[in-house]
Amino acid sequence: MGDSGILTRSAFLLYLIPVLIGALVGVLFLIPVNALVFYFEHRPGGGSALDYAAAELMWALTGGMPLKTLFYASVGAFLGLASAVFYNSLYKSAVRIKHLSEELEKDVLALIAHGEGETIEFKATFKWDVRESRSSRAVEDAALKSIAGFMNSDGGTLIVGVADTGEITGLGHDYGILMRKDRDGFAQEVMTAVSRKLGTDACRYIHLVFHSAAGKDICRIITSPSARPVYLTEGSDTKFYIRAGMSTRPLNIQEAVEFISTRWGK
C-alpha cells in the first residue's frame, strides 16, 4: 500500500478511535451517572445507589434496554468525534503559529544574503512590470504562483522588493500604482489578490511583515501550509502548483490528483 493509503487509514483512525472511545464512555459512564441521578431523585427499591447503578449498567450491557444503551453510546460517540475535531483544529493552529513565530525570528537581511532556496523566493515587484513600465497581471500571477506553491507544500517566504540577485529594489513601483501609496495599501492589494485568485480562506495562511532596508520598504509574505488544496485562477484556467526545490511548478491532472490524495487524503 502506498503513502496515500497509509495517510487515508491514519486520517480515518484519527476520528474512528475517539468515536469508539466516546461510545464506550457513553455506555460505561453516562448510564451509571444517569442511574445515580434517578436513584437520588426517586429513591427506588432497597439497596444502595451504587448497587442500583451497577445493576442498570449490567442490564444495559446484557441487552435489557437497547434503546437507552444506543442513545448513550451515540451521545458518547458524538462527544468523542467533536473532541477529535476540536483538538485536531487546535493542533493545526499551533503548527501555523509555531511556523509563523520561527519565521518572524529570522533576520530579513540575513535571509536576503542567504539567497533564494526551497522555502524562500524573491520578487522585485508584486504587480509592476519593470521592463514594460506598467501594471501587469502576469507579474501578479507569478507572485501568487509562488504563494500557492508554498501553501500546497511546507510553507515558505516570498520577499517582495528584492530582485533575484538579492538587490533591494523596494516597493516604490508597486506603491505608485496603488490608491493608498503606502504599506497599508500594498497589504490590502496583496490580500485582495490572494482572496480573488486563491480563495478568501487562503488569506489566513499568509502574514505580511514590512521592513525597511537600504532606505526602501520591502515586504515579507510568510506563508503557512494550507489545510486544503489551493488552486490559482489564471484567466480562464485553474492551476495547481507546488514547491519543487528552488522553483514552483504546476502539476498536471494526474500528478495533482495523486499529490492531493497523499497530502490531504481522508
Burial class (CB in 10 A: 0-12, 13-18, 19+), 97: exposed
Alpha carbon distance 233, 211 (integer Å): 29
- The pLDDT value given to residue 213: 86
- The pLDDT value given to residue 1: 39
Give Cβ neighbours of residue 36 (< 8 Å, ≥ 6 apart). 49, 52, 53
* Cβ atoms 250, 239 nearer than 8 A: yes
Angle CA 9–12–14, to nearest 5 = 110
**What would the pLDDT profile of 112-149 be if each residue is shown by its tens digit?**
988 999 999 999 999 999 999 999 999 999 999 999 99
Q: pTM higher than 0.95, yes or no?
A: no
Angle CA 2–90–3, to nearest 5 = 5
- Ranges in the chain, pLDDT < 50: 1-7
